[in-house]
Amino acid sequence: MKTPTTRPLPRSVLLMILLAVLFLFVPFLTWYLTWFGRPLTDQQIERYLNDEEKPRHIQHALSQIADRILRGDPSVRRWYPKIASFAEHPRPEIRLMAAWVMGQENRSEDFHRALKRLLNDPIPMVRRNAALGLVRFGDESGRSEIQHMLRAEPIRAPEDGAITVSVSPGDDVRAETLLARIHCADGRQRDVRAPWPGRVERLLVASGTHVRAGEVILSLAPESQQVYEALRALYFIGREEDLPEIERYARAGSEWPEAVREQARRTASAIRQRRSQSSP
């Protein structure tokens, strides 16, 4: 009896199989290379922290260091000077993440000083991360920045020109979402992007109108996670004059999550308790 011979697969079938494998492998590789939860060795962290050509490598290393700080791993202290130096990094996403990492370790005076410098950063999200991190040091110097995290803030036109608005009242936006575009007289275009995640509260100009530099074009309210983090910080450093803003969230309706309303109540209670303890 003859053993049946195995015929080789046609070239077209092999090509289809190869493409199928690639379609599975490439997304996995992309995910594997960009997922900040992927563990790194000490050698990889060292290399990633110094990889200026790939900012995501720096972010990945910072994320891994933050995880180790939270686990109480003392070996990460060797990288503290490098992390503190990122307060001067030209890329805002690196300064933003460095501020978050430094806020996890409240025993480093280098981190404390770097966070205070970041309170003057031109990027609002960096300043806010720094302000929240300083609370871990018992430092109230970022309190005014934290107060702004509870309020709707005006977004202004960067230049004169005709405006095209890209959002509507009630829209939820992420950081860097395009809010409007200014068409300047010399033919240039300037994008106006969301400086932080939030909700468009009011539009003050209409598409096609002419705006001047500095004119308020819309009001951007904070998103719930930002409010929650600000309320948690004020639990520790809030003062009596912060109560009206805090209680507004405690009384808020269903437009705010219950976690936000509950944190507002706890924060208001903590402030009142501190006031009663300090009273003669």
CATH code of residue 64: 1.25.10.10
Angle between helices 124-135 and 109-118 (to 10 degrees): 140
Same domain, yes or no, for 200 and 109? no
Asked if residue 271 and residue 194 are part of one domain, the reply reads no
Mean pLDDT confidence for 114-132: 96
Residues 121, 208, single domain; the answer is no
Query: Comparing 279 with 189, which gets the higher pLDDT?
Result: 189
CA distance 162 to 208: 6
- The verdict on 83 and 137 lying in the same domain is yes
Q: Name the domain boundary from 133, 148, 163.
A: 148
**206 falls within a domain:** yes
* pLDDT of res. 25: 41
End-to-end CA distance of the chain: 106
Q: Is 78 exposed, middle or buried (0-12, 13-18, 19+ CB in 10 A)?
A: exposed
**Is 240 within a domain?**
yes
Angstrom distances, CA of residue 10 to CA of 17, 18, 21 = 11, 13, 17
Distance CA 19, CA 235 (A): 55
Range of the domain at 74: 42-148
In a domain, 2, yes or no: no
Last residue of a domain, one of 176, 199, 222: 222
Q: What is the pLDDT of residues 80-106, one digit of tens each?
A: 999 999 999 999 999 999 999 999 999
**How many domains, the chain?**
3
User: Could you give the CA distance from residue 33 to residue 12 in angstroms, rounded to a whole number?
Assistant: 31
Residue 177 domain flag: yes
Strand, coil or helix: 13:
helix
Looking at residues 261-267, what average pLDDT do you find? 96
Average model confidence (pLDDT) across the chain:
88
Are residues 242 and 173 both part of a single domain? no
Residue 56, pLDDT above cutoff 90: yes
Is the residue at 27 inside a domain? no
CA distance 261 to 6: 69
Q: What is the pLDDT of residues 14-35, one digit of tens each?
A: 555 444 444 444 333 333 334 5
